[in-house]
Amino acid sequence: MKEMLLVRYGEIGLKGKNIRSFEKKLVSNIRKAVASFPDAVVLDKHGRVVVEYEPHNQDAIIEAVTNVFGVVSVSPAVRMDRDIENLKVECLKLMQRLMEEQDIKTFKVETRRADKSYPLKTPEINQIVGAHLYKNLQPIKVDVNNPDIMLTMEIRNVAYVFSKKIPALGGMPYGSAGKGMLLLSGGIDSPVAGYLMAKRGLELEAVHFHSYPFTSERAMEKVIDLAAKLTKYTGNIKIHSVNILEIQKSINEHCPSEESTILARSFMMKIAEKLALKYNCKGLVTGENLGQVASQTIEGMNATNSMIEMPVFRPLIAYDKVEIINLAKKLDTFETSILPFEDCCTVFLPDRVVTKPRLEKIQASMDLLQVDELIEAAITSRDTIIISKGEVLKRS
């Protein structure tokens, strides 16, 4: 008899080669998630992913595995020989242990015969094991509708027996969809957008734009803290920290002030795309949300899209602010996001902003600027910060 965690996964619709690469990535991500427990072993066999561990680590292992994207639910289980006489003995021991931990007055047994060659049919297994438990655990009763405990026996070439199913995050294994460049501001939205794309399997790298010394070091630390919260789900995140002060000054000097927001946004997209290409990212991710602020109109997004060729993922596009805030609270980024440090976008905020920019006008304004040189200079002088397990690993 050995204790372990049964891991359930599955995106409906995945088939053939796709399911194999999904499983491989999932198993490797689970291995990384439990790497700090020297006794934990992740096994990928009998059509099941299981994690073996030392019993005293159970809660921490469950916490780590349920935060791996792609895992749908987990069950702490006991593995035992599947011979029916052995099932009777071991299930009884297991029930006795469970009854010491919690008040159990009613039970039900359930069998899943994953191996159809097993000599007994499901109702027979239920009947034999159920009767044995009933006889030995009096005054316990059977309740088929609403039992205090449901003991499930999963019959493979061994038997896994469990009584609890703990929900996990679902989604796709992190990294299974390639890599994307997240435009990470210090606000509420972009960390949430990054989380949602990571949950669909997109590995994240991040770029943050600042206007130091007009924006402070503390504003940068805030962004680092936000990325650090995401590493709970992602593993290491690299942030490119890019100073766009010279770009903003140049826009201010040469272009109509009501266009400055959209122009700065255009530069951000172009820089993000350049970095994305350099670091093998296939798309950009932003926290944009239709109608939230003046620049987030269809026309505004169209204008910034027209500056680049890469796809831009905006997972929050149709969310309500309340929904975004609720997610931010769940991720524990909300309190950090609302800290009142200045943002590069507010440093040169004009009195009036164009909400429906015309592409030709924005392009004409861009033509007034030394776009390539400005971008090159900003990228060359960037800082890079690598965050691992909630902490800064390296700055350069």
- Interaction between residue 90 and ligand ATP (CB under 6 A): no
Tokens of residue 39, six digits:
């006794």
Cβ–Cβ under 8 Å, residues 192 and 224: no
Contact between 345 and ligand ATP per CB under 6 A: yes
Residue 183 binds ligand ATP, judged by CB under 6 A: yes
In the bound complex, what is the minimum distance in angstroms from residue 292's beta carbon to ligand ATP? 5
Site size for Mg ion (CB under 5 A): 2
Take residue 323 and report the two structure tokens written for it. 């929904």
The smaller minimum CB distance to ligand ATP, of residues 27 and 344, is found at: 344
Nearest to 328 by CA among 194, 236, 234, 207: 194
Residue 269 to residues 130, 264, 308, 309, 375: CA-CA distances in angstroms?
63, 9, 7, 10, 11
Binds ligand ATP (CB under 6 A): choice among 29, 111, 152, 185:
185
d(CA 353, CA 362): 13
Q: Which of 6, 247, 288, 315 binds ligand ATP (CB under 6 A)?
A: 288
Span of 93-101, 131-139, 182-190, 195-203 interacting with Mg ion by CB under 5 A: 182-190
Q: What is the DSSP letter of 154?
A: E
Residue 337: name the closest of 348, 327, 351, 350 by CA: 327
Pick from 70, 171, 187, 194 the residue near Mg ion by CB under 5 A: 187
234 binds ligand ATP (CB under 6 A): no
Q: Alpha-carbon distance 313 to 285, whole Å?
A: 5
* Least distance (Å) between residue 331 CB and Mg ion: 17
Tell me whether residue 202 is annotated as binding: no
Instruction: Tell me how far, at minimum, the Cβ of 11 lies from Mg ion, in Å.
Output: 32
Taking CB under 6 A as the criterion, the residue among 188, 263, 310, 369 binding ligand ATP is 188
Are the C-beta atoms of residues 248 and 263 closer than 8 Å to each other?
no
Burial classification of residue 183, based on how many CB atoms lie within 10 Å of its CB (0-12 exposed, 13-18 middle, 19 or more buried): buried
Q: Which residue is nearest to Mg ion (CB)?
A: 187
| 267 annotated ligand binder | no
Binding site for ligand ATP (CB under 6 A): 183-185, 187-190, 208-209, 268, 286-288, 292-293, 295-296, 343-345
Annotated binding-site ranges: 183-184, 208-209, 265, 287, 296
Binding site for Mg ion (CB under 5 A): 185, 187
